[in-house]
Structure 1
Amino acid sequence: MDWLHAYEDELRLVFEESRKVISAFPEPLNAYGQSYLDQFNVFKLDSHKNYICYLLPFWLQDRCSLSPALTRSMSAGNVFFMLYFFLQDDLMDSRETPADQALPLANLLYVEFLSIYLPLFPADSPFWSYFNRYITEWADSVSGEAGRDYFLNDRIRISHKASPLKLSLTAALLLSGQSPLIAGAEEMLHTVLLTLQMLDDYEDWEEDLRDGNYNCLLSLARTYAGAAGEPLTEAAVKDFIYITGGLAAYAATAEANHLMLEDFPWQLPRLLSFHLVLVKNLQQIAAAIEAEKQLLQAGGLDYWLSRHGNLS
């Protein structure tokens, strides 16, 4: 995993600096902010590992001739912006998130992000037009996913849920005088973000089914079940995953994404390596399910069904 281990020392500095900045927030937002940061700190056990957010500036460093200090600063900016949007996601998805703390903290994080980028780009820089577009893409995506089936009909909007991440990519290309590459680089990142969301949705499908959240895997399962417009049951999803081999089809989409990435004329090798890990994870999960099913088919089907619940 060269896409991670080569940058561990730098990432420690990023999280240490981010924690230092947040610790200076007014009480009690400083404690709340540090606790929230820990939920995504790659060096904390059981944290959510949003690798692409922290690491994208480092993957761009050589290709865009970024100094180590600027690269760390952009990574920290990504951390602040990530937390800003995740707090909003929490407020939209859960009634348990304390709005009286989450909203003020989110605004402080937003200001810290701006404090990094404002000195880099004057007001008339095209960066701010990209900034407006990416925020608009995010808003459109998160507000429409409940009523539109993005995975079947408009997959780019799945990637748009993470559109703000493109800011560090666009910033690096602008700073290095490579603005003609921005459109293609955006498309490349969209492909990675789609596969990343697909893997997350496999891991979260039971929770998303229970909470009524949109989920790529559930979208595909609903199609296989012929349940368009109807509530999807847990039994139908398990039938799709464990009986009909639906996860193999799901993983095939991720593999097709990787083939597209390999054809892009402009490459970020460590972004490609990261994406391959995502694809292999899905393929290995699908293969393990199929292998176990084959082993149990000869006299062991009852055992299989008992392990995976009532699938019929």
Structure 2
Amino acid sequence: MDWLHAYEDELRVVFEENRRVISAFPEPLNARGLSYLNQFNVFHPDSHKNYICYLLPFWLQDPCGLSPELARRMSAGNVFLMLYFFLQDDLMDSPEASAAEALPLANLLYVEFLATYLPLFPADSPFWPCFSRYISEWADSVSGEAGSDYFLNDRIRISHKASPLKLSSTAALLLSGQSSSIPEAEAMIHTVLLTLQLLDDYEDWEQDLEDSSYNCLLSLVRSSTGMAAGEPLTESTVKDFIYVAGGLTGYAATAQANQLILEEASLQLPLLVSFHLVLVQNLQQIAAAIEAQKQLLLGGGLDYWLSSHSNLS
């Protein structure tokens, strides 16, 4: 199913609305805000793409009977919230980040996010206890990551790093009278977020190893190779696990298991499931390509050379 291209026109409206609002911030926060927004603008070729953040309200539009206007509004709110939390991540992760520059902008973005939901839910709505819980889950996850091995011991806390994303699904279900489906929607989103992190951690493992940042793939390498607690993990050990031991095949199998969980869910969110399948296939293709290259090398140097240079004929 087309979880992306069918919504390109809607996303152009969303990012234009985000630009309009941020442009009205006081100087120089408006310029900083627009520059930061561009780093995640889906239409910029070199930007960081956070598709689930932008698109989740549109994927919920038909299952929850949302109007196009409300779906766009919620998507724009998600972008404001994403920028707010990413600014905080930057402060926590980078010693070069400036709190004096980031925090004023972050708070303006947070106010704009709140403006999306305050008119939709009265003070006694169950939306607000969910709001508090999701923020608490995020805080617990990011504060405990350095001292815990979430991938081995508590995988839901990996997903909790993006817990505030669930606000849009919870809002959509409440507005459509489907509050009983909120726990299953939360579980489905947790599953997708875990696979997203698996893919991100494969792509970032070298930088995370250098920075001593937590990484699911590096956690798997440590456990699979029987490393002692505190023993330093080396780049060569990780590469041996990926390229010699075929460790990425088992890593991708975790994502495939997540796909089966989503397909068996009683709550029907087909576009979310289709998005997840693309993530799974990406990991599987990476693992298969590594294994195919290894087999060529095992088959002999001439076979590998012929295969690598066949496109020249």
Match of 1:22? 22
What is the CA deviation profile of residues 19-59 of structure 1, one whole-angstrom value per residue up to 9, with x for unaligned ones? Answer: 11001111111111100000000000110000000000000
What is the CA deviation profile of residues 94-120 of structure 1, one whole-angstrom value per residue up to 9, with x for unaligned ones? Answer: 012221111111000000000111000
Match of 2:57? 57
What residue identity is the alignment partner of 1:299? G
Q: Is the 8 A contact 2:151 2:158 kept in 1?
A: yes
Q: 1:7 to 1:220 in 2, by over 3 A?
A: same
Shift of 1:299: 3.1
Match of 1:117? 117
Match of 1:163? 163
Match of 2:267? 266
Match of 1:139? 139
Q: 1:66 to 1:221 in 2, by over 3 A?
A: same
Q: Is the 8 A contact 2:19 2:34 kept in 1?
A: yes
Decide which moves more: 130-139 or 228-237.
228-237
Shift of 1:228: 3.7
Match of 2:285? 284
What is the CA deviation profile of residues 125-167 of structure 1, one whole-angstrom value per residue up to 9, with x for unaligned ones? Answer: 1100000000000000000011100000000000000000000
Summarize the alignment of residues 75-114 of structure 1 with structure 2, pairs less than 5 Å apart. Answer: 75-114=75-114
Match of 1:220? 220
Match of 2:190? 190
What residue identity is the alignment partner of 1:125? S
* Mapped partners of 1:30, 1:300: distance in 2: 57
Match of 1:310? none
Match of 2:255? 254
Decide which moves more: 59-68 or 221-230.
221-230
What residue identity is the alignment partner of 2:278? V
Runs of 4+ in structure 1 off by over 6 angstroms are none
* Mapped partners of 1:242, 1:190: distance in 2: 29
Shift of 1:223: 1.0
**Partner SS state of residue 46, structure 1:** coil
Decide which moves more: 226-235 or 271-280.
226-235
Match of 2:243? 242
What is the CA deviation profile of residues 188-211 of structure 1, one whole-angstrom value per residue up to 9, with x for unaligned ones? Answer: 110000000100000000011001
Q: Which structure 1 segments of 5+ residues have no match?
A: 305-312
Summarize the alignment of residues 25-44 of structure 1 with structure 2, pairs less than 5 Å apart. Answer: 25-44=25-44
* Mapped partners of 2:141, 2:244: distance in 1: 32
Shift of 1:11: 0.2
* Mapped partners of 1:167, 1:293: distance in 2: 44
What residue identity is the alignment partner of 2:250? A
* Mapped partners of 1:96, 1:202: distance in 2: 25
* Mapped partners of 1:13, 1:204: distance in 2: 31
Shift of 1:227: 1.6
Q: Which structure 2 segments of 5+ residues have no match?
A: 306-313
* Mapped partners of 2:301, 2:240: distance in 1: 17
**Partner SS state of residue 107, structure 1:** helix
The alignment of Structure 1 onto Structure 2 pairs a total of residues equal to 303
Q: Is the 8 A contact 2:242 2:248 kept in 1?
A: yes
What residue identity is the alignment partner of 2:289? A
* Mapped partners of 1:218, 1:268: distance in 2: 32
What is the CA deviation profile of residues 216-240 of structure 1, one whole-angstrom value per residue up to 9, with x for unaligned ones? Answer: 0000011122124221111110011
**Partner SS state of residue 64, structure 2:** coil
Match of 1:299? 300
Identity across matched positions, percent: 79
Q: Is the 8 A contact 2:63 2:268 kept in 1?
A: no
TM-score by length of 2: 0.95
Q: Is the 8 A contact 2:83 2:109 kept in 1?
A: yes
* Mapped partners of 2:301, 2:40: distance in 1: 41
What residue identity is the alignment partner of 2:212? G
